[in-house]
Structure 1
Amino acid sequence: MTAKPRVGEPVAPMDFLTVNSGKISIGQAKDRWTMLFVYRGRHCPRCKRFLNKLDKMLSDWTAIMDVVVVSADTAEKAQQDKDEFGWTFDLAYGLTEAQMRSLGLYVSDPLSEAETSDRFAEPGAFGIRPDGTLMLVDISNGPAARPDLAELLDGMAFNIENDRPVRGIA
């Protein structure tokens, strides 16, 4: 079992390539908070519903923090999703198994070639402070458990506005 990430501690620096031919980085100091959403990949219909909801709320999210969305998918699969769903957030791809484990994510093998061909991360959401430390973590071992995006946004806005301390230190 992968060790769970420790809130209040730095997130390991990671770079992700995006379908817009850019790069997104987490885990270092920046001027804004970041919410990192990890999704299972192109093969997951529940991920699409979740990300469609996120896209509808994206302006509310980006008004207070940066949003990073990443999976272990290839560039081609990520581009297919972006094209099919018309998401306005920048979509990152190529999350490695080492990065998955660094984030404390559950890692799954495909059930069949029809699902996908490689290992992938189960869903996770990570609130990262501007100093690169982890404030909030929500991980799942399967596709059915996801945070309510409106509640999560409301809670994150409260935490940011009130400079709330990290909770749940192990």
Structure 2
Amino acid sequence: MKKALTVADEDLALEIVMMAGCGLRNGEARAVNVHNVVAQDVYRVREQIHSNTLKPAKLKHRKTGEFREVPLPRSVREAIEHYAAKHGTTKEGYLLCGPGGYFTEGMERRRVKRLFEDLPPEEGVGMYGFRHYFASNALDSGIPITDVAEWMGHKSIEETYRTYRHLMPGSITKAARILDAGLWEAA
């Protein structure tokens, strides 16, 4: 991720930080808004930039007006603040809406292709990998899968479990050891 951030332009870097640091989808990251920072460590995901209309739209798996809250790492909050101070915001608080409007997915794909041309070749590298980075980082750090599923906006925990189960292979072994120790202490 650090290599990607060193070669990305400022707009793409902010999108990457939002995906890797908060677990946002591409369209949600493009809708980054200073008004969604609701606490020092909480970002409220209210909308996404729709891939077809290129306008703010409701979140996936949510009704209009519904939102979810995600952890806001200090470094991500500082990236939002730095970008806003340097580039300003729209009157509604959006950051990644330039004079030509929001980036299209096609524009993003071209920018990402250029981004990864300068990096060592890796199979399947793309923007969505930064969202997976968030989930991997959270699960590897022992954050419960139920929390990760909620933060990522998955429709059900089964989706999270199917996608990220491989990151928790030691949980059965660890549970067996803990339960075994508990059995002998109780006896």
| Greater Cα radius of gyration, structure 1 or 2 | 2
Q: TM-score, normalised by structure 2?
A: 0.27
Considering fraction of residues, name the structure with more strand: 1
Q: TM-score, normalised by structure 1?
A: 0.29
Query: Which fold has the larger relative contact order, with Cα–Cα distance below 8 Å and residues 6 or more apart in sequence?
Result: 1
Considering fraction of residues, name the structure with more helix: 2
